[in-house]
Structure 1
Amino acid sequence: MNTRTRTDQPGWLEIVVGIAAMAVVGFAFPILLSDQIDLTGAGGGAFLACLSGIAGLAGFGAAMLVRRRPLPAFGIRRTTARWLWIGVAGGAVALLAKGVLVPLFMWLTDVPTDTQAGYAAGASGGIWLLIVTAIGLVVLTPIGEEFLFRGVVTTGLLRYGPVIATVGSAVIFALLHGINVVLPAALVVGVITAELRRRSDSVWPGVVVHAFNNSITVIAYAVAPGIAA
């Protein structure tokens, strides 16, 4: 467990600035482009897959520039092979939980279920678009979102204790995915990755969790794009 003082950690200013920057890039930018680019097709889906990771990195970059803390203050530090393998196990647990919670959530609620249809279109749009979509969802998005949500948000909330940091950052992460069928899966991933960030003092085990889950999703979309609905 890290012993740095609270003043070494990011705070609410970094959290707000980071999330705002991510929202501008990830949500507002596609709206502005919607008249010029077909974001519902395969090419648009591959573009959005990459944009989700770029948005996270933009949010992290904006948060980091607020007070210029070193990368280890955000949990961006080397970790051990043991923690990376724990990340793989955490990814498997998250995947199993997703298989139970998403159908249950769909049965209990009437929320949108086609929010990732663009990703599915990108993954099933041919080998090159599959590669681009995979880079976006398996590499860029895990790094970008973990740097922002675990490196900035979880770290910033640790001043209020482990429960607030883990649950609070997971809820913020899930809600920013929207009130839709993805919400319970995002909540589970958020809890697991936040707890791994807290215990390992590194964001990299969470990146592994995130990449593991997204890689299975990309494979599923490539094989059967209809499951996005």
Structure 2
Amino acid sequence: MPQNSSSRPDPHPDALPPGGPAPRPAPADGPGPSATSTPSAGAGGRPSPRVGWPEIGVGLVVAAALIALLLAATSLIPQDQEILRGLALYAVSALGPLGGFAAAVALRVRDVRAFGLRRVSGRWLLVSVAIGIGVIVLNLLVTAAVVTLFPPPENIQAGYQAAATGGALSFLGALVLGAVLVPIGEELFFRGVLTNGLARYGPWVAVLVSSTVFAVAHGINYVLPVAFVVGVIGALLLRRTGSLWPGVVVHAVNNLSSVIIPAVLAGAV
């Protein structure tokens, strides 16, 4: 009995369909606005959890506890040791957020790429330097306006300025702590944890809420508006590039001016 042609084995099972293989979609130029919101693969190929409220909560508790403990230790430094106290304050500003970030990473996600620790092109880093210079100009304008329009405010930067103007060694310490470690620590926590953790509520909620928390963390004073702008810029750069490093550069350039300008005016360098 003849076989039905539909039941015969295909003599060329590996042959390509007519017209060749289907074209693969072209890769995107880079991570899009929601690049950091996509969970990466974890062990066994399963996607890692997204950054969320557990990371935010644990990070906030650990950062606040570290800052409280370090400030208590700083208070033991004699008042006349202004330079040492200033360097200690820089260390508090860096280590508190760094500890909060480390706790958030260790909780569930454990993949730093989900927090925005990704490579970024040199072009974006150069753009960030230019933006940072613009923030310096804004900072000077805001300070001039506050001094002109209001009674002289309390110099909340006095401790930091003492470290910057205390000689070559303390100036170097202020540069390393204030212009390197503080921007890295604060961007890792406020953008890496907080902005990414709030991304599920939409980009503007994530950007504005995380920037507001960042600004308030600097105190209700004349620094607040510039801190808010730095936060918004860092969060927008994170969404645009998928990386924290452009925001770190903007932050570092602004902080660099806060170390160098007082030192130059005081003739310390």
Normalising to structure 1: TM-score of the pair?
Answer: 0.89
SS in 2 for 1:147: helix
Instruction: Give the whole-Å Cα distance in 2 for the aligned partners of 1:144 and 1:93.
Output: 22
Q: Determine what percentage of the aligned residue pairs are the same residue.
A: 41
- Distance in 2 separating the partners of 1:107 and 1:214: 23
Shift of 1:128: 0.6
The answer as to 2:180 corresponding to 1:139 is yes
Alpha-carbon distance in 1 for matches of 2:205, 2:124:
22
Query: Which residue identity is paired with 2:88?
Result: F
Give the length in aligned residue pairs: 226
Deviation at 1:22, TM superposition (A): 1.8
Deviation at 1:191, TM superposition (A): 0.7
Is the 2:49–2:108 Cα contact (8 Å) retained in structure 1?
Answer: no
Between 1 and 2, higher relative CO (CA 8 Å, sep ≥ 6) is seen in: 1
1:117 to 134, 158, 170: 158
Matched, 1:12 2:46: no
Counterpart position of 1:189: 230
SS at match of 1:207: helix
Deviations 1:45-85 (A, max 9, x none): 01211221111211111111221430100000111111111
Q: Do 2:48 and 2:109's aligned partners in 1 also have CA atoms closer than 8 Å? A: no
Residue 166 of structure 1 deviates from its aligned partner by: 1.1
Distance 1:54 1:205 in 2: 21
Deviation track 1:128-170 (CA, whole Å, cap 9, x = no partner) reads: 1111111111110011011101111111111111111111111
- Corresponding position of 1:128: 169
Q: Which has the higher helix share?
A: 1
The worse-fitting range, judged by mean Cα deviation, of 139-148 and 57-66 is: 57-66
User: Which position in structure 1 is the counterpart of 2:122?
Assistant: 81
Greater shift in the superposed pair: 124-133 or 5-14: 5-14
Q: Distance in 2 between matches of 1:209 and 1:10?
A: 24
Amino acid at match of 1:64: V
CA RMSD of aligned residues (A): 2.3
Once the 2 structures are TM-superposed, how far is the Cα of residue 12 of structure 1 from its aligned partner?
Answer: 1.7
Partners of 2:195 and 2:210 within 8 A in 1: yes
Q: Which runs of 5+ in 1 are unaligned?
A: none
Query: Is the CA contact (8 Å cut-off) linking 1:123 and 1:130 kept in structure 2?
Result: yes
**Pairing partner for 1:215 from 229, 232, 256:** 256
State the alpha-carbon separation in 1 of the partners of residues 64 and 158 from structure 2: 20
Question: Greater CA radius of gyration, 1 or 2?
Answer: 2
* TM-score, normalised by the number of residues in structure 2: 0.77
